[in-house]
């Protein structure tokens, strides 16, 4: 009888532990997170948070999916299909400006790219050296490209008449090829996308001219983590935990990008690690900046943020006024000391 009683007690204890385990797992908040683009070097920032267990430590069950552009990411978060996402700030401003009656307007909660990676790229043989040299030229980019949409800001800063520039649209995968073939004189794109795309096609680095928007007077913020406001209101601690996890991961990747590039390869076996590592390091130039070193990751400068909104509204031809209030919500940011690089 004592033996049977002992077995029964052990069984009950075991069942209790299993139930407790299931209960703990059930407490993990599920989050679907959408990238702005494919699984490439930059996605290591978020994959590292999952790989290092940072999401799990915050009691989060996070699924990371690839994206098809910042505009699509904003739409996914607005509809609630994804709780959080990664998108260019300009795409968020455009959505809010063009959808004043939208029931759900995503908010930016953590500025990842302290400055925009948008740039104009040309081949040295074209003779193009500055934005002013683009007069009379044909530029190429997908119609939704962030650099193309923001091009009027660059043109205005460099006194370039927009009427003297023509555009040719193409699919993203054809952009660099068309420049290589001479079908366009220059292209717009993110530095770490188009520059890497050109070198991958055999063009030597010394033969590429790259004009970064922020270097030529078109100062803008770049990509941010965005959140569905309903989810944020109902799960504030989960959102804070997500940002804490990503913030830790960003610092890890900045310190040792080589250690995390394999995570991208796991997501997409077709990528080349050497290429994606170079892309990742180029992207980090917009994360690990002097401003981020001085003031910490994730936050914004109010005046500069307001100027970004004004410039985007004008450049994108947004007819509705866009108030800065509510576009960036700093209430979920990790403590300032934790955001220091």
Query: Residue 13: inside a domain, yes or no?
Result: no
Q: What CATH number corresponds to the domain at position 298?
A: 3.40.190.10
Query: Residue 5: inside a domain, yes or no?
Result: no
Verify that 207 and 306 share a domain, yes or no. no
Query: Residue 7: inside a domain, yes or no?
Result: no
Verify that 281 and 138 share a domain, yes or no. no
Angstrom distance (rounded) from CA 261 to CA 277: 6
Mean pLDDT of 84-113: 96
Q: Is the confidence at residue 24, as pLDDT, over 70? A: no
Residue 326: pLDDT band with limits 50, 70, 90: confident
Q: Which residues make Cβ contacts (< 8 Å) with residue 217, sequence separation at least 6?
A: 154, 157, 158
Residue 6: pLDDT band with limits 50, 70, 90: low
Which H/E stretch holds residue 15? helix 2-26
Verify that 228 and 335 share a domain, yes or no. yes
Mean pLDDT of 294-315: 95
Verify that 260 and 283 share a domain, yes or no. yes
DSSP-based three-state secondary structure for 141: coil
Query: Residue 18: inside a domain, yes or no?
Result: no
Residues in the chain: 341
Backbone angles phi, psi at 255, to 5 degrees: -70, -35
Q: Which residue is associated with the tokens 């004008």? A: 314
* Cβ neighbours around 11 below 10 Å, total: 10
Please tell me whether the overall predicted TM-score, pTM, comes out greater than 0.85 for this model: yes
Verify that 103 and 146 share a domain, yes or no. no
Verify that 245 and 188 share a domain, yes or no. no
6-15, 32-41, 197-206: least confidently modelled range: 6-15
Query: Residue 80: inside a domain, yes or no?
Result: yes
Verify that 60 and 96 share a domain, yes or no. yes
Angstrom distance (rounded) from CA 187 to CA 210: 10
Structure tokens at 22: 């299931």
Q: Which residues make Cβ contacts (< 8 Å) with residue 288, sequence separation at least 6?
A: 254, 341
Task: Evaluate whether 118 touches 146 at the Cβ level (below 8 Å).
Answer: yes
Q: Which residue range is the domain that position 124 belongs to?
A: 118-216
Verify that 125 and 207 share a domain, yes or no. yes
DSSP-based three-state secondary structure for 245: helix
Task: Evaluate whether 66 touches 35 at the Cβ level (below 8 Å).
Answer: yes
Q: Which of 201, 216, 231 is the last residue of a domain?
A: 216
Query: Residue 183: inside a domain, yes or no?
Result: yes
Q: Which of 182, 216, 250 is the last residue of a domain?
A: 216
Query: Residue 171: inside a domain, yes or no?
Result: yes
Angstrom distance (rounded) from CA 329 to CA 30: 21
Based on the structure, what is the number of domains in the chain? 2
Residue 14: pLDDT band with limits 50, 70, 90: low
Q: Which of 216, 236, 254 is the last residue of a domain?
A: 216
Structure tokens at 60: 């989060």
Which regions of 112-192 does DSSP assign to beta strands (E)? 118-123, 138-140, 166-168, 186-190
DSSP-based three-state secondary structure for 70: helix
Verify that 209 and 69 share a domain, yes or no. no
Verify that 325 and 229 share a domain, yes or no. yes
Query: Residue 233: inside a domain, yes or no?
Result: yes
Verify that 189 and 247 share a domain, yes or no. no
Residue 2: pLDDT band with limits 50, 70, 90: very low
pLDDT digits (tens, 9 = 90+) for 213-249: 999 999 999 999 999 999 999 999 999 999 999 999 9
Mean pLDDT of 139-165: 95
Verify that 58 and 69 share a domain, yes or no. yes
């Amino acid at each position: 009888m004592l033996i049977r009683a002992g077995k029964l007690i052990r069984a009950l204890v075991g069942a209790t532990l299993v139930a407790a385990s299931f209960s703990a797992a059930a407490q993990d908040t599920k989050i679907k997170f959408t990238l702005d683009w494919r699984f490439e070097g930059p996605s290591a920032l978020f994959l590292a948070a999952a790989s290092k267990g940072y999401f799990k430590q915050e009691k989060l069950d996070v699924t990371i999916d690839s994206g098809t552009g910042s505009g699509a990411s904003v739409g996914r978060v607005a509809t609630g299909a994804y709780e959080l996402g990664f998108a260019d700030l300009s795409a968020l401003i455009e959505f809010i400006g063009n959808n004043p009656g939208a029931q759900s307007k995503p908010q930016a909660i953590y500025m990842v790219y302290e400055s925009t990676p948008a740039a104009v790229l040309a081949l040295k043989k074209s003779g193009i050296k500055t934005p002013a040299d683009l007069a009379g030229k044909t530029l190429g980019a997908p119609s939704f490209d962030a650099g193309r949409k923001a091009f009027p800001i660059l043109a205005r800063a460099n006194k370039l008449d927009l009427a003297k520039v023509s555009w040719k649209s193409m699919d993203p995968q054809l952009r660099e090829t068309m420049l290589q073939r001479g079908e366009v004189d220059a292209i717009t794109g993110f530095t770490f996308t188009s520059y890497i795309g050109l070198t991958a096609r055999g063009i030597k680095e010394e033969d590429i001219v790259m004009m970064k928007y922020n270097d030529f007077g078109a100062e803008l913020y770049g990509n941010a983590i965005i959140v569905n406001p309903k989810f944020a209101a109902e799960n504030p601690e989960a959102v804070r935990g997500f940002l804490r996890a990503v913030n830790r991961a960003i610092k890890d990747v900045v310190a040792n990008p080589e250690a995390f590039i394999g995570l991208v390869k796991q997501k997409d076996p077709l990528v080349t690690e050497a290429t994606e590592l170079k892309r990742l390091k180029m992207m980090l130039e917009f994360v690990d900046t002097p401003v981020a070193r001085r003031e910490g990751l994730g936050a914004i400068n109010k005046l500069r943020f307001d100027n970004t909104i004004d410039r985007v509204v004008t450049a994108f031809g947004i007819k509705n006024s866009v108030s800065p209030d509510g576009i960036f919500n700093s209430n979920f940011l990790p403590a300032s000391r934790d955001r220091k690089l």
